[in-house]
Structure 1
Amino acid sequence: MSSASWHARISCGRDTGAGFLVTERHVLTCAHVVARRDTDSVAVSFAHGGYEEIPARVVAHGGWDGRESDPGDLAVLELDRPVPLKPAEFATPTDAYGDPPRRLLAYGFPKRYDEGTLAEYRATARQLIAGEWVQLESWAAHGQPLAPGFSGAAVTLADTGRVVGMVSAAARSPEIRNGRMLPAQVMARYWPRLADLIPTPDYDQQQKEHLRHLLRQLDQPASAAPAPTGAPEYGPERLYQDAVGPLGPPLPPHRFTSLWDAAWYLLSEVPDPAAVTRFTARLADFVDDTPTRTALRAWPSAPQAHRPDPAPGRPSRGAARDAAHTWSPILVEIAPSGSGDGSFLVEVSAYNGGHRRVVGSRRLPVDRVRPYTLERIDEAYRELSVGARELLAFVLPRRWLNTDVAHWQRSADDDSPLGSFAPLVVLDLERRRSGGLQHKLRQKWQYLDERPAARLHRIDCWSVGQDQVKLTIGLRRDADMVGFATPPRADRVRRLFQASLNAAVPVMLWPRTGCRGEHRCGESVDCRGAEFLDRLAEHLAKLPPRELPRFVHELRETAYASDAPEPHWAYDLALLWEDPECLPDPTGYLHNPVG
């Protein structure tokens, strides 16, 4: 401590205080020490580096406006020239506290001590007063008290000399030997560059600097991401709450003034190291600039280097569960928002080796659902390893399962159908949320993995009048997959469709268009529905169910590329395919982030 050359004496007119060197040209002190900077010059000298005064100017200010209780009592001084002294080093934000208490030292310049003197103190508690200060109390009943001339002094750990904060005030009465410290992490609120120098357990200086630069771009109004249509602007407080979840630390007493302010609070005050990555991932969803969005989602890794490691493999359920045949789904969940305003909740995630990463989650009006979904699907591919077998899985409400998602134009620059780009399946939202049906589906797949082929149950146009309950019970026992001759649009067909879903049938196929099943066409030799089921039996019935998304994808490619005058029989083929092991229940956000 006695040899630390970075302790500084600050002069501003008749006022004298302390400070400390943090870079070769920057010194920190209290704003009230240089309150007369507009009329008097500011000079800095170093206690152990000679008493030559170096002119300095204030380049950053915490916003302190003159009263003792005002926050932001910090000033950053820039020296006229660099000094050949080693700057102060910082401790982690928690190092000032302990049981027994840590002995803290402050090096100040009270009257008659031009060369400086030491005061011994300790932190009363870690709790911040007014969200800004830590109370200091004297280490012993004797010795040097805090007094004028200590303002701006670094508070250091006696055993390491590392800085934990800065003296900002002392008790007015000499009989009360206490004072206040501005902790280092609070100082970094007012001078963000300081955060790079304060150690945090899980993120290094380069990672913090990278994040700070990313957020600085977004904190500038000219480049801020626009809020979603029909929703309030997504501010730092909301992002913070999403990051910590409903059971996490509450919002601090001070309001976040910027995105970086919230991110720094997560880095320095919240014990969960993953909270800040949830913050950056959530923020990324509201950024229009693709490179910035990608960098935020990949932080703290470089975007090109970010690839999730596969999770340890689960016990095999048979040869079909071999890793070479495991799907890596991109999951799209679209559901009504529940607010009655015609908006939808859209969430896009990527699974890789069992790891799930949310790449987008928004509340959107209906006209923005498709472009947003397609854009986030494209970005989700960044989360997949090179050898991953992609699977696009749309989770839709039951009444929308016949939506033509396979025919969506893949992107603004690619007119080809999404279903021709990758294997694509749909899932029923209601069934996915049912614990009982998910359990039955796991049992069904365990059975199917032991069989070379699946049994196809046909529901022809003329059989749509059968009993719904009896069908559910029969399918649970005897069916591995169900083929419908008609789309689930007419009421009678929808009832049988629901019966099949409730029977936990893992595979369902149907034509999106064609006969509505509203008449008896069993006597017709030209029944399109019957022909469709015949083709299904011919092409798919004897294939392993786990590979059906791949075979259907190949059929769609053939259908979309066909030059025949009549549409290919599989042109409108829809596939519902659900394996809970392949698509484990989402665990991304602990609460609704957009409701």
Structure 2
Amino acid sequence: MDEWQWRAWVGPPSGGKLGAAFLVTETRLLTCAHTVHGREEMRVGFPGLLEDLPARVVRRGDWRRAGDPGDVAVLELREPVALTPAALAAPDGLHAGGLGGRTLGVWGFPRRPDQNERHAAVTAFPHRGMRREWWELKTGRGDWLEEGYSGSAVYDTATGEVIGMVTNAELRHGDRADLGWMLPIAHIRTYWEELDDLLPLRWLTPAARRELRELLDGVRYTDPLAADLERITGRRSFGGFRSAWGSVRHVAEGWPEDRLVRYVAALGPHLPESARRRLTAWSARHLPRAAPAAPRQGPASVIVRLERVTFDNAFDVTVHTWIDGAEGPGRPTERVPDRRVRPVVEAGVAALAPALFGRDWMIEFAVPEGWLGKPFEQWYVDARNRIPMRKYPVVVRDVERLRPDSIRRDQAHHRWRLLIERGRSEPRPIACDAPRKGSDFQDWLEANIDLCVLVYGSRPVKSWLTAALNNGVPVMMWTRTPCDASSHGDCRGHRVLDELTAAVGDRHPGDLPRLALALRKAALVAPKDTPHCGRDLTLLWDDPSRLPDPPLAMEV
């Protein structure tokens, strides 16, 4: 029958059969990554039709060893075949209710003298999942799964539609098993996104979906996108997505069309300029109700990133720009010794600043913990004319929070979101004579997750700073001048703390960089012998949505 032409075997060039595969286009087949592990070239055959066709592995999932997710591989034939590809089921129709009681088929190529295929009837159990990756398969009476079944499509014997792929089995009866596992179509497509072009999805047209998927190819799902998704859907998505396309598909298949329109509009600021223009044109053609993406709020920035190298007392220096909620022009990473950091940073900021002229902009220093107290506002934005950076808002950030795998980053995300939802700073003052035991400070912060803004009466000791960073406190302010008073009844630190706490008050967190700028300016004309909260002022202001892509060398 023509509808079964897509069933195939797969093996190495040296001969033999390792498992199964199924044809999804005239040149491409799906199989398991473990079946082709360690090989780039394979052979495939369609029993009784075409045999020993050369193919190469063009895509692999995340699978590396037994038990890993992402056990997906894509094979490409050298020449198209005149065979009918498999009919693929719609992912949104695959659930326990829809599959209940239906007989499903699989086939494989176990080791037999005749080297022919064998078939088995199975039942799938979506509710018996494992690690949100696999569904359980149970064979019918008298049928077994064996080595050689991996890569077989799991298909409805009545309609021929493929609902997933066999990946492994529990060989509990010698070399045979009555229990196995399948990867459903909805999960296969997360490891090979082009599969979406072949599925009978119910949103947009196939051509429009394919164009959008290609436009978003390589665009990552980032914290700023996650914030947009939560804002538009009203629900946080647990587990995240492997790409921006995955998040678009999630919105399109789970919410009304107006949410897709809004989310696609929100994607624009996260894309490079050329891709942004293409997305606008795509939306005009395929989403008639789409409105142009509104400009993002918040200042533009020059973001200086310093990563300490583990040897030679050197730093990797990267200078980015952040414009309208997306990364703008930047400079290549430069590795320099400690003594060269300042001139390299000053040169980088001066070179990129013209891209921000005419905007409301600031300078952000993402630096190691030990550098957070440096007087960056005294560095030059124009060294030739000795113009200091303090003419603009200057803030510091914890560079560790910019790393994709950082727990500090995740902690900061939660407190920042609470702070923005609250809409006011509500600073908690930390006096210069407060008990300095680091473990107590750590426990206090961990127990009070609503503490989002800390104001210190003098430079915080290292244990305090580390505890605040580990607990994700996103905003801290302090003057770098220590309080060395013998009595703290009316000391310099207390007076500065009172001024700073009052100045911050109920300010919106987005206003704090401008507030710090105003306080520094006020300190310039204050009497030099009088303490002022704007003198030697450091503001740690860590908005986790302002995340330019790290240099490739810094990726995790």
Instruction: Report the TM-score, using the length of structure 1 for normalisation.
Output: 0.46
Larger Rg: 1
Q: Name the TM-score, length of structure 2 as normaliser.
A: 0.49
